[in-house]
Structure 1
Amino acid sequence: MSDARKPQNFIADIIEADLRAGRNGGQVVTRFPPEPNGFLHIGHAKSILLNFGLAKAYGGRTHLRFDDTNPVTEETEYVEAIENDVRWLGGDWGSHLYYASDYFERMYECAERLVREGQAYVDSQTQEQIREARGSFERPGVNSPFRDRTVAENLDLFRRMRAGEFPDGACVLRGKIDMSHRNVLMRDPLLYRIRHASHHRTADRWCIYPMYDYAHPLEDAFEGVTHSICTLEFESNRELYDWVLDALGPWDPRPRQYEFARLALGYTVMSKRKLLQLVQEKRVSGWDDPRMPTVAGMRRRGVTPEALRDFADLIGVAKNNSLVDIGKLEFAIRGDLEGRSPRALAVLAPLPVTIANWPAGKVEELDLPWWPGEPARGGSRKVPFSGQLLVERDDFALEPPADWKRLAPGREVRLAGAYVIRCEEAVRGPGGEVVGLRCTYDPASRGEGAGARKVSGTVHWVDAARSIPAEVRLYDRLFAVEQPDAEPSFLDTLNPDSLQVAKGARTEPALRDAAPSARYQFLRQGYFFADPVDSRPGAPAWNRTITLKDTWTAKAAQKTPDARKARERKEPPGAPAAPRKTRAEFRAEARAENPKLLARYTFYLKELGLSQDEGDLLTGDVATAAYFDAALSGAAKPASVSKWLLNDLAGLAGDRALTALPLSGAAFGRFVALVDQGRLTAGAAKTLLADLVASGGEPEARLKALGLEKVEDRGAVDAAIAKVLAAQPKEVERYRAGEKKLLGVLLGAVMKETGGAADAALVRKVLTERLG
């Protein structure tokens, strides 16, 4: 097993349990399966980091596979962009690059097998007729009039479909399952459709293409994927995923699908269709427009892979969908750029300043450090200073408010890294507008050390004659509302100020030679990135990655140490970044600064017998430790409380602090005590905990109200088994004919029939007896 830091989420728990049980031959194989019909976005980035991260942590591998089953929407351009994005995020698939189209012949052979075994048929209804006959959640479906075609007729029609004898839409291949199935997706799902279109890899060799729900599980099985991780919208598809694998198996290893909450981010849309619309209607400059939530757009804006990893760690891997505050992403970006961006001077909206008492013709070369707050990092550059300067127009006010700390008539400020100046006069234009300032300087005020002269504020500046004209783009959120998708038209919510060009912007001379993709913090302005596409030698184009203002930090301060303190690198600009601190290191720092937390850590290990990992996670902050202590009052075992808190409750809490849940620490302890007493199964316990996290209440009362108490009554189990066996006669017949793997299918059906409350061991014993 790899030495990589182990993830802390419910999927990692599943993988660890599989490894302990020796499943899948001890292998961990994940995959990232994008459709090449657009650029990847930040939601895909979360999935990439999860899949590649889990495989790396457990000594496995991750496959990059393109699900190219729809030739109408797929392009080679998208394939190349996706590979670049995955590689940029740190994904290493080695030799394991695959395409669904690699398996078209094998998938077709599997489909013929389904036809020969009577599990698939060719349907000649129109698309509208099929849709209407499928029914709804309230209304069962109706069998197709072509459902009872003979095997020979179906094979002939399917082969003629492949041969190109029929036009698009003339017929489809459907799985023969159950048109009254409670899961609408299981009502004779489409497996193949006709599409006369050239494919980006197979050209015109095929005119029938497999549907995603049929192709996807087979691709996993062909490649030996063990843990097929997808987002929650595919939860209902899992039953069809399993049907395809069970019908065409056996497989070793047999893939299993697991779902996690997809990323829904405020002020953002994630629909590829909507992102494509923005591109096609030229609302943005392209897929890599720095305002787009695409990986390419974020990369061009100056966001780093490390920032996206920090963001993914911050939001975690949850089981329930929720809207993530975009402030969390901005917090991660600022925290990452803080320690990797040298400080530089730039004025975006210049206001001329004349220093009246500066010696005529004199130019002083100031030696300013790249890291003024961290002198040990070293590195500096020469910045010219003369009697003609430029300051930010917003740093002057004719009639300043009471708390004004910048320039105003009669006010003094320090010019960053230079002298104190006093505004003597505002120079007016013909219309009375301020066109410049006349100031004086204090020759003895140079320097900002302990003995320096104190003034109320500091402003940035550049030399008027020797600064460099610069193209500076000020990017902001693309949408003006938090949930654009909730509005009648998401296009109406576009932020008109999402891109502003700072006309007349000037930077200090040292930035003239900044290389494409260089990063700097423009003092008091924000973090800026030299555009890798539009920058030219001697003329970098600057993209603002993010502003300095951070409204999220105050909210997150209790959970995450201050980003500035978290970066203690000593390297000069351009040097490779030092290893960044892990979350475990942050927790260790918190204990070092808080003796009470350190004492709890020692107590948990020595007195309660918890592992070092458990003690570490439980004492990362005061609130978590207090919640755990409160839970111990509920008479539950400490090890059980720790397990349920770290493995389940943390995931259900998602973005919320434990103290913000409607479930108190003491009530959580009483819930765990019910589990310890054996009063509910593991599955029922998860259901109960989700209910308590959502609505609160007393655990025992909710247990009874939801009917989740473990069913150990032989009669009740017998009744549930009898109902399931009567409903699935074909599965029973196949099991008795030798397909012993169907025991798991039937066992799952009985558990579902009892709402997960039956004793699984008792169900297995009785079911095995009944099946003979």
Structure 2
Amino acid sequence: MYEYHDFYKKNFIFKIIQNDLKNKTHNVICTRFPPEPNGYLHIGHIKSICLNFFIAKFYKGNCFLRIDDTNPTTENIEYIKSIKKDLIWLGFKWDGKIKYSSNYFDLMYNYAIELINKNLAYVDELSIEDIKKYRGTLSTAGKNSPYRNRSISENLKLFQNMRLGKFSEGKMSLRAKIDMKSKNIVMRDPVLYRIKFQKHHQTGIKWCIYPTYDFCHCISDAIEGITHSLCTLEFQDNRMLYNWILKNISIKHYPKQYEFSKLQIEYGITSKRNINLLIKNKIVNGWDDPRLLTISGLRRRGYTASSLKNFCYHIGITKQNNTIQLSYLESFIKKELNKIAPRAMAIIRPLKIIIDNLSYKKKIELKVPNHPYDKNMGYKFIYFTKEIYIDNLDFSEKEQKNYKRLMLGNKVKLRYAFVIKAKKIVKDNNGNILYIHCKYYKNTLGLKINKKDKEVKGIIHWISCSYSQSVLFYLYKTLLNKKNINNTDNILSYINKKSLSIYNGFIEKNLLKEHQKKHFQFEREGYFYFDKKYSHKKKIIFNRILSLR
């Protein structure tokens, strides 16, 4: 069980449901998770998933997975597969078979005809651009389309001809006849159907007209017997249309819509339009790029399902929009990995050290713990040999005040091993350091270094050259250099060009074979995840989830 359930159950939606059950408005609670298959799911969807599935489980009701597939132009099977995969990975199981809004297209068409017969819908010939112009603004009322007062019989005939494919795309649309002067712009004769000569991934070429999301969504909820239709605040204005449609068609069940704040995270990109733009411009390498906040990107980065769910349960459900600090999200995976991730040493920026007073034939076996606080993880053996790697950031040619690492003439302690002293630097013809000659002190194994020690400057990590494995380290920074962006912002102007750095380095030999795990804490470097999906024998990739600081 998760840590935050008691806290989570105090949110306003639970109070609404409790009251509905008390008043016997509903006997069985039914929720749904209804993504559009026009992209991969992101962290904001996890907040909605947790809410809908947890409510259904807590009240012993049902939660359906419904694919709201109303726009074949932007949808495909790949996205549907990714949605199912993400839900299964998160550990949620939907009730019954997957539902598709397209299953109800015949019913929706009949409901559209019902609205026409009630003189509540009409076929319009205004272009998309003109519909926007006629709609008005927040400060100015809209004006009626010149086609608004067509007769019912004419509208029925035109709508039937739309269905038969007799008009080109954009030539006509079906609009609700509500109020072009409404203060709520959504209610100014919204489009209900549009023409799209596009093959649908579920219905094939059966249809050439498709319902809009607003028309389809509420009807799908009603058909499925959803009791509480939960969505983010951006759909608050659409609730009036949601209710209008259901009130004006002959459908028995009448769900109610409730809105909560969407999940926004500093430096995060969740807009599918923006992610597509980044993919198109080759700024990221697909929907599962570890710099993205898509579920597949977070999974590939190394986030666990439990850490993401705990994060969403803890931030809770409110009606107040706010932006969550990225460090807060990171704290949940850090807390989890601190307990479960084996420790190991890895060298990201290798610098070779030659131990002058150790024979090439000799190796010194050292027993070290897999976890400093969990003895159940056991021990392993590493080897101290004549040639080792240290990180080049742990050596400085120039004298630096308060420098706690290796310099010529000073001493440092190797983690779990000996004290060494730098004696000589060897460079190539271009002045680049090839390696450093050092001396090791045999009697310093197990020596504890304290801050007051003036002779030994600090402790650094290392790996034996003979007992190492070459890998690639992918180090990530935020994709954006601006904390918060608006929908109107040009996202390409805020891209951090240094969001990814790739290093050729080394890990302990046989590390992956010995542990059979993917998460590791590489000492002093951070938490890393073995990217099995994109690794192969000649290219082993470790993604840094986050640093230790």
Category of TM-score, reference length = shorter chain: over 0.9
Matched, 1:306 2:306: yes
Q: Deviation string for 1:470-505 (max 9, x for gaps)?
A: 1222222212222344785321222222111112x0
Give, in whole Å, the separation in 2 of the partners of 1:354 and 1:128.
72
1 CA distance for matches of 2:129 and 2:185? 16
Distance 1:315 1:400, change over 3 A: farther
Equivalent residue number for residue 24 of structure 1: 26
Q: Is the 8 A contact 1:528 1:543 kept in 2?
A: yes
* 1:177-576 matched pairs, under 5 angstroms: 177-249=178-250, 251-252=252-253, 254-371=254-371, 373-447=372-446, 455-485=456-486, 489-503=490-504, 505-511=505-511, 513=513, 518-537=518-537, 540-549=540-549
1:92 is displaced (CA, Å) by: 0.9
Which residue in the other structure is 2:38 paired with?
37
Uncovered stretches (5+) of structure 2, i.e. residues with no partner = none
Task: Write the mapping of 1:632-711 to structure 2, written as runs, cut at 5 A.
Answer: none
> 1:359 Cα deviation (Å)?
4.1
Partner of 1:584: none
In structure 2, the partner of 1:87 is: 88
TM-score by length of 2: 0.93
In 1, are the aligned partners of 2:31 and 2:227 still within 8 Å (CA)? yes
Displacement of 1:97: 1.3
The aligned amino acid for 1:379 is: G
| Alpha-carbon spacing, 1:194–1:39, altered in 2? closer, same or farther (3 Å) | same
Percent identity, aligned pairs only?
40
Give the counterpart letter for 1:332 in structure 2.
F
Partner SS, residue 357 of structure 1: coil
Tell me which structure has the larger Cα radius of gyration.
Answer: 1
Q: Determine which structure has greater relative contact order: mean sequence separation of CA pairs < 8 Å that are 6+ residues apart, divided by chain length.
A: 2
1:401-445 deviations in Å (ceiling 9; x for gaps): 333222123332221111222233344444554432222222222
Q: What is the number of equivalent residue pairs in this alignment?
A: 542
Task: Indicate the SS of the match to 2:179.
Answer: coil
Q: Distance in 1 between matches of 2:171 and 2:449?
A: 84
Aligned CA-pair RMSD:
2.4
Indicate yes or no: 2:14 matched with 1:12.
Answer: yes
What is the aligned partner in structure 2 of residue 124 from structure 1? 125
Partners in 2 of 1:400 and 1:71 — Cα distance?
A: 65
Residues 540 and 380 from structure 1, CA distance in 2 versus in 1: closer, same or farther, beyond 3 angstroms?
Answer: farther
Deviation at 1:514, TM superposition (A): 6.9
Q: What is the distance in 2 between the residues matched to 1:292 and 1:517?
A: 23
Cα distance in 1 for residues equivalent to 2:325 and 2:307: 16
Q: Distance in 2 between matches of 1:291 and 1:401?
A: 35
Query: Any conservation in 2 of the 1:346–1:506 contact (CA below 8 Å)?
Result: yes
- Structure 1 position 192, deviation (Å): 0.9
- CA distance in 1 between counterparts of 2:332 and 2:467 reads 36
Structure 1 residue 345: deviation in Å?
Answer: 1.2
Query: What's the CA shift for 1:17?
Result: 2.0
Match of 1:588 in 2: none
- CA distance change for structure 1 residues 514 and 218 in 2, over 3 Å: closer, same or farther? farther
Letter in 2 for 1:322: N
Shift of 1:537: 5.0
d(CA) in 2 for partners of 1:223, 1:514: 50
In the aligned structure 2, how far is the partner of 1:368 from the partner of 1:344?
Answer: 9
Distance in 2 between the 1:379 and 1:523 partners?
A: 17
Output one character per residue of 1:182-222: Cα deviation in whole Å (capped at 9) or x when no partner.
11111121111111111111111001111111110001000
- Following TM superposition, by how much is the alpha carbon of 1:448 offset from its aligned partner in structure 2, in angstroms? 5.9
**Structure 1 CA distance for aligned equivalents of residues 439 and 203 of structure 2:** 74
In the alignment, the residues of structure 2 paired with residue 390 and residue 225 of structure 1 have an alpha-carbon distance, to the nearest angstrom, of: 61
SS at match of 2:383: strand
8 Å CA contact retained: 1:417, 1:448:
no
For 2:315 and 2:153, how far apart are their aligned partners in 1? Answer: 54
Q: 1:168 to 1:433 in 2, by over 3 A?
A: closer
Gap change, CA 1:432 and 1:73, over 3 Å in 2 = closer
Alpha carbons of structure 1 residues 136 and 378: separation in structure 2 relative to 1, 3 Å: closer
Higher strand share: 2
* Compared CA separation, residues 435 and 184, structure 1 to 2 (3 A): same
What's 2:108 paired with? 107
- Cα deviation 1:51-91 (Å, max 9, x = unaligned): 21222222222111111111111101111011111211122
Q: Say which structure is richer in helix.
A: 1
Return the offset for 1:509. Answer: 0.7
Would you say the 8 A contact 2:33–2:48 is kept in 1? Answer: yes
Tell me how far apart the structure 1 counterparts of residues 101 and 197 of structure 2 sit (CA, whole Å): 18
Gap change, CA 1:56 and 1:247, over 3 Å in 2: same
**CA–CA separation in structure 2 for the residues paired with 1:142 and 1:318:** 37
Task: Please list the CA deviations of residues 325-369 of structure 1 after superposition, one character each: whole Å capped at 9, or x if unmatched.
Answer: 212122222222222210111111111112222245201222222
Q: Which runs of 5+ in 1 are unaligned?
A: 550-772
CA–CA distance in structure 1, aligned partners of residues 426 and 126 of structure 2: 81
- Counterpart of 1:70, as a letter, is N
Q: Compared with structure 1, are the counterparts of its residues 300 and 375 closer, same or farther at alpha carbon in structure 2 (3 Å cutoff)?
A: closer
Following the alignment from structure 1 to structure 2, what is the Cα–Cα distance between the partners of residues 468 and 74?
43
Residue 299 of structure 1, CA deviation? 0.8
For residues 409 and 375 of structure 1, the distance between their equivalents in structure 2, rounded to whole angstroms, comes to 37
Mapped partners of 2:354, 2:389: distance in 1: 9
- Asked if 1 retains the 8 angstrom alpha-carbon contact of 2:269 and 2:292, the reply is no
- Measured at CA, do residues 360 and 214 of structure 1 come closer, stay the same or move farther in structure 2, by a change above 3 Å? closer
Deviates more, 1:477-486 or 1:383-392: 477-486
Distance (Å, rounded) in 1 between the aligned partners of 2:445 and 2:138? 76
What is the CA distance between 1:237 and its match in structure 2? 0.4
